Amino acid sequence: MRITAVDAAAREKGLYPGMTLADARARVRPLRILEADPDADAVLLEKIADWCDRFSPILTLDGSDGLLLDITGVAHLFGGETGLARDLKRRLHALGFATKIAIAGTALSAHALARYGKGGIVPPGAESEKAAELPVEALEAGGDVTRALRRAGLETLGMLAERPRKPLAARFGSAFTWRLAQILGEGDQPLSPRRPLPVFCAEQRFADPIGLFEDIEAALKTLAQDLCTGLEREDQGGRCFEASFFRADGTVRRIELLSGQPLREPATLLRLLLMRLDALADPVDPGFGFDMIRLAAVAGDSAPPAQALLDGSEADGQAVEDLVNRLAARFGVEAVQRFVPQDSHMPEYAAKAWPAISERAGSGSWYRGEADDPPLRPLFLFSPPQRIEALAEVPEGPPEHFFWRRVRHTVVRVEGPERIAPEWWKSYETRNTRDYFRIEDQTGQRFWVYRDGLYDRDPAPIHWYIHGIFA
């Protein structure tokens, strides 16, 4: 068994990761040992990353125990880079974490300084100077390369930096020199954020954490107002919103809200948010209070200023859309559906139910029936179809009676068969040809039943199913 990580006190005693546990025990007694749990560590790191979202939305995980934040243009909000570093350190320390912070012009430079150097803040343009003292391990080029560099007498990045790059690239590959250049602050690669970046966001910090619902509501109102002003300025409307509640104890709760059409009406947004909060099965728990709330439009869409038509027809459509939004906010996006036709003659594929706020269009159109025909398709459809025990007088004919849900139905009227063949041109299609019958029983119940398969062609046994019920 080996040690995977040590704390500062243990390091002082001369323990280091990679050491065998027996050695460590021999050296230091008593020794407090915890079994490594990488999964829990990963979860914890994700949580810390969520929490760090308060500083900058652009952030990625760095290895199993680091975070990279792009603080371009946000440091002034926290009193400059020094202030930000101090704030971050203080807060994380309060949560019980030891930290090493480096701020540099490029992500890799900061990474190398934090992991292989002393950390700290690098003034603009001073990356190469600071990085010069770092050992060649900071390149993370693997054991062989590092050994080769050391054998060549190259101990620090400074020594490497002085040498011409071309031969280095020829010897170790261009990725190696590119990495070196980044650590030296000569080139940069943007971070790919772990979460989608908001189009617009508004946030509010509280010196004293707030916990009362009225306070939260008031904060959300201000935020909705701010966010919508931003959206309006750009002629945009939000389609996906996210409210993040940063709790004083470090946990972050995010609530997502989808909208059917671009939205930038503060009152509507606030109402939808409150409904969403109200309908949560697991309500937002302020605990010791929230010290920050952020409201962001994660996805937006262009929305020109609305203009109502004179006859008010636009307003009606808008009112229905608003209702759909409200219902979706309360009961979930999946709960509110609309139907679109599909270009298929298979009854189960002829229609699809999409979330009403999606804009997906169907293919084909609805069959509305010929004049003087009764409805040929049932009002309710079972999926999957329900098996019945049916008895037909002649094999290819309609059933004479059948049992469904333990009730015997005698067929009084019947029309059929309407033969519906499977979509044989689709490779995954394995269904039989079906003969559908529209039937009515002795009590006036009307069913849509089918025989699954043809007696002379498909293998026995051939079964009967109820596919739907007519009004």
Partner 1 sequence: MDRTEHIHALRQVLTRLDPGQAGTTNRFAFGEAALDAQLGGGLARGAIHEVFAPATPAAPAAAGFVTGLVLRAAGAKGHVVWIRQRHAQDETGKLYPQGLAEMGLAPENLTLVLVKDITDVLRAALEAARCKALGAVVIEPWGRSKHLDMTATRRLSLAAGETGVTGFLFRVAAGPEPSAAATRWQVRGYPTRPLAAGAPGFPAFEATLLRHREGLAQTLWHLEWNRDALRFSARPETVETGFAPVPALSGAVAPLLLDGPAASHLGRAG
Q: Can you spell out the DSSP letters for 359-376? A: ----SS------TTPPPS
Within residues 402-431, the interface with partner 1 by CB under 8 A covers 407, 410-415
CB of 462 to partner 1, least distance (A): 17
Dihedral sign for Cα 179, 184, 190, 193, please.
Answer: positive
- Provide the token pair at 47: 């949580």
Contact between residue 63 and residue 203 where contact means Cβ atoms under 8 Å apart: no
What is the torsion angle, in degrees rounded to the nearest 10, for the CA atoms of residue 26, residue 32, residue 35 and residue 41?
A: -130
- Of the ranges 113-121, 165-173, 397-405, 457-465, which one interacts with partner 1 (CB under 8 A)? 397-405
* Contact with partner 1 (CB under 8 A) among 336, 435, 436, 451: 336
Q: How far apart are CA 233 and CA 237, in angstroms?
A: 10
Residue from 209, 341, 420, 454 touching partner 1 (CB under 8 A): that is 341
Position 289 contacts partner 1 (CB under 8 A): no
Cα-Cα-Cα-Cα torsion 227, 225, 302, 57, nearest 10 degrees, comes to 10
Q: Which one-letter DSSP state was computed for residue 358?
A: S
**Which of 288, 380, 424, 455 lies at the binding interface for partner 1 (CB under 8 A)?**
380
Q: Which of 324, 333, 388, 449 binds partner 1 (CB under 8 A)?
A: 324
Query: Tell me, what amino acid is at 295?
Result: L
Bridge partner residues of 346 (DSSP): none
Instruction: Please report which helix (H) or strand (E) contains residue 252, including its range.
Output: strand 252-263
468 binds partner 1 (CB under 8 A): yes
Please name the amino acid found at residue 231.
L
Q: Which is nearer to partner 1, 17 or 317 (CB)?
A: 317
Tokens at residue 403, please? 């049992």
Residue 389, SS3? Answer: strand
| Cβ closest to partner 1, residue 165 vs residue 377 | 377
Query: d(Cα 349, Cα 434) in Å, to the nearest integer?
Result: 15
Distance between CA atoms of residues 23 and 1, nearest Å: 10
Our finding on whether 399 is near partner 1 (CB under 8 A) is yes
Our CB check for partner 1 shows the closer of 217 and 400 to be 400
Q: What is the distance between the alpha carbons of residues 135 and 240, in angstroms, rounded to a whole number?
A: 46
Does 337 engage in binding with partner 1 (CB under 8 A)? Answer: yes
Q: Least distance from C-beta 347 to partner 1, angstroms?
A: 7
Closest approach, Cβ 392 to partner 1, in A, equals 8
Residue 229 or residue 410: which is nearer to partner 1 going by CB?
410
* Angle between helix 313-331 and 266-279 (nearest 10): 30
Q: Which of 12, 162, 359, 393 binds partner 1 (CB under 8 A)?
A: 393
Q: Which is closer to partner 1, CB of 17 or CB of 364?
A: 364
Q: By C-beta, is 167 or 369 nearer to partner 1? A: 369
Q: By C-beta, is 196 or 317 nearer to partner 1?
A: 317
Number of residues that bind partner 1 (CB under 8 A): 67
Q: Match 């509010």 to its residue by tokens.
A: 204
- Residue 307 in the binding site for partner 1 (CB under 8 A): no
Burial 187-196 (b: 16+ CB within 10 A, else e): eeeeeebbbe
Separation between Cα atoms, residue 458 and residue 395, nearest integer Å: 13
Question: What residues from 438 to 467 belong to the interface with partner 1 (CB under 8 A)?
Answer: 438-440, 442-446
Which residue, 50 or 322, is less far from partner 1 as judged by CB?
322
User: Considering beta carbons, is residue 175 or 280 the nearer one to partner 1?
Assistant: 280
| Per CB under 8 A, 207 contacts partner 1 | no
CB of 432 to partner 1, least distance (A): 21
Query: Would you say 60 or 261 has its CB closer to partner 1?
Result: 261
Regarding beta strands 102-103 and 120-121, do their DSSP bridges make them parallel or antiparallel, or are they unpaired? Answer: parallel
Single out the residue of 16, 367, 403, 424 in contact with partner 1 (rule: CB under 8 A).
367
Side-chain-facing half-sphere of 178: CA atoms under 13 Å: 5
23 near partner 1, rule: CB under 8 A? no
- Residue 430 in contact with residue 451, Cβ under 8 Å? no
Binding residue for partner 1 (CB under 8 A) from 165, 211, 225, 382? 382
User: If binding is defined by CB under 8 A, does position 379 make contact with partner 1?
Assistant: yes
Asked if 356 interacts with partner 1 (CB under 8 A), we say yes
Closest distance between partner 1 and the C-beta of residue 306, in Å?
15
- Smallest Cα–Cα separation from 132: which of 154, 159, 151, 112? 159
366's tokens = 């609805």
Considering only the stretches 74-82, 153-161, 166-174, 367-375, report the one whose residues sit in contact with partner 1 under the rule CB under 8 A. 367-375
**Residue ranges that bind partner 1, judged by CB under 8 A:** 315-320, 322-324, 326-327, 330-331, 335-339, 341, 347, 350-351, 353, 356, 366-369, 371-372, 374-383, 392-394, 396-400, 407, 410-415, 438-440, 442-446, 468-471
